[in-house]
Amino acid sequence: MFSRMASADVAAPSGDEASPRRAALVYNPIKVEVDQLRDAVTRHSADAGWAEPLFYETTVDELGDGLAREAIAAGADAVLVAGGDGTVRAVSEAMAGVEVPLTIVPSGTGNLLARNLQLPLSDPDAMIAATFAGDVHAIDVGFAELVRPDGQREERAFVVMGGMGLDAAMIANTSGDLKKKVGWVAYVDGAARSLVKAKPFGIMYQVAGHRMHRAHVQSVLFANCGSLPAGLELIPEASVADGQLDIAIFQPKTAFGWLAVWRRVAWDNSVLRRFRAGRRILRLRTRDNSIRYARGTGIQIAAGVATPVQLDGDEFGEATAVDVRIHAGALRLAVPTGHTSPTL
């Protein structure tokens, strides 16, 4: 379940009654109707008695994390983010550990965090209104320290999931133009092209609190959320508010192994698990090792070769090692009053 805070936390005065509160909007101009969005945020601010909002537009070189820090430094009492999954990731990275609440205004093609939280995807007005008179919940944020082939280290956050291996290669092989036209379906094309060249790679990994393992894998996913587009449940038990990282290790050895992975995700997790009879079937079925699950507060992965990495669906180059940790309750998220999600 969410860690819930009082709805008054969103709208309560920040200490100086003479200074009206102010919201800030960080948005990706490619993903939103700019004028409509800015007008809506301005209108809701005025209705709530807040000052004129601050507006920050992302660019190719500024994905949103620096803009969110600017907004906080400028004294923003609440931040809204509107853009794709990459924009949400960048802004969440800057706001992790900050008391200022964040509102996600669903935009773009994926909306994976919003989908996992079951937020209203087609009602941006409801999400904007939640900034000023909604509930605030604390959710977890993942941080991945990437070790580059030259030994340099870089730490980045994720709010949905990250991965090392085939999933990152798939994202790298997905056409940006096709993604703009058909949305998440474009990843199917990227997956098809990646599978042709896919080769297992050797890793050593250790989930926090468990012993070290060696394995040959196609991909390792570390997740804060478990749902994918089209209703697919990669990790049904994943929660953004349990202080745990959910890990999926893909190690199919043949085409039949990949069919087993697909059956596990598309049928077992997404259909059978919803019904009592289906869960009984799953308990009786012989387990296979094509996909293995683990859970802990973190995972360390060392690969034998430089391997592509992705975080929340964005490429992050290659790394030889990744050290992932979950920061429990690090992000304060504003949602409509009374909103709940049975999957969290």
The pLDDT, as a whole number, for residue 8 is: 39
**Same domain? 130 vs 147:** no
**Same domain? 31 vs 81:** yes
| Block residue for tokens 């096709």 | 178
List the one residue out of 31, 10, 307 whose CA is nearest residue 137. 10
pLDDT in tens, 285-323: 656 678 899 999 999 999 989 999 999 989 999 999 999
Residue 248 is which amino acid? A
Please indicate, yes or no, if residue 309 is contained in any of the structural domains. Answer: yes
The pLDDT, as a whole number, for residue 197 is: 65
Provide the 10 A C-beta neighbour count for residue 236: 16
**Same domain? 178 vs 317:** yes
Please indicate, yes or no, if residue 344 is contained in any of the structural domains. Answer: no
The pLDDT, as a whole number, for residue 163 is: 95
The pLDDT, as a whole number, for residue 22 is: 98
List the one residue out of 119, 105, 84 whose CA is nearest residue 36. 105
List the one residue out of 55, 58, 60, 47 whose CA is nearest residue 88. 58
Q: Show Cβ contacts of residue 106 under 8 Å, excluding neighbours closer than 6 positions.
A: 114, 119, 120, 121, 122, 124, 127
The pLDDT, as a whole number, for residue 258 is: 63
The pLDDT, as a whole number, for residue 19 is: 83
Q: Show Cβ contacts of residue 319 under 8 Å, excluding neighbours closer than 6 positions.
A: 146, 147, 148, 149, 164, 303, 306, 307, 309
Helix (H, G, I), strand (E, B) or coil at 344: coil
Find the CATH number of the domain harbouring 179. 2.60.200.40
Rounded Cα distance between 281 and 275, Å, is 10
**Same domain? 314 vs 178:** yes
The pLDDT, as a whole number, for residue 199 is: 83
Band the pLDDT of 167: cuts 50, 70, 90: confident
**Same domain? 314 vs 257:** yes
Bigger pLDDT: 102 vs 15: 102
Helix (H, G, I), strand (E, B) or coil at 265: helix
Residue 23 has pLDDT above 90, yes or no: yes
pLDDT in tens, 1-11: 555 554 434 54
Average pLDDT of the residues of the chain? 85
The pLDDT, as a whole number, for residue 305 is: 94
Find the CATH number of the domain harbouring 132. 3.40.50.10330
Number of folded domains that form the chain: 2
Domain of 66 in residue numbering reads as 3-139+330-335
List the one residue out of 100, 119, 137, 105 whose CA is nearest residue 12. 100
**Same domain? 192 vs 320:** yes
Please indicate, yes or no, if residue 65 is contained in any of the structural domains. Answer: yes
Phi, psi of 20 (to 5 degrees): -65, 150
**Same domain? 210 vs 321:** yes
**Same domain? 130 vs 116:** yes
**Same domain? 288 vs 146:** yes
**Contact at 8 Å (CB) between 133 and 178?**
no
The pLDDT, as a whole number, for residue 168 is: 86
**Contact at 8 Å (CB) between 162 and 309?**
yes
**Contact at 8 Å (CB) between 124 and 37?**
yes
Band the pLDDT of 325: cuts 50, 70, 90: very high
Please indicate, yes or no, if residue 342 is contained in any of the structural domains. Answer: no
Please indicate, yes or no, if residue 321 is contained in any of the structural domains. Answer: yes
pTM: 0.85
Band the pLDDT of 15: cuts 50, 70, 90: very low
**Same domain? 22 vs 62:** yes
Q: What is the mean pLDDT of residues 64-69?
A: 98
**Same domain? 210 vs 310:** yes
The pLDDT, as a whole number, for residue 16 is: 47
Please indicate, yes or no, if residue 287 is contained in any of the structural domains. Answer: yes
Please indicate, yes or no, if residue 343 is contained in any of the structural domains. Answer: no
pLDDT in tens, 100-150: 999 999 997 789 999 999 999 999 999 999 999 999 999 999 999 999 999
**Same domain? 214 vs 325:** yes
Which of the 8 DSSP states describes residue 273?
Answer: G
pLDDT in tens, 217-272: 999 999 999 887 666 788 888 899 999 999 999 987 766 666 666 666 665 565 55
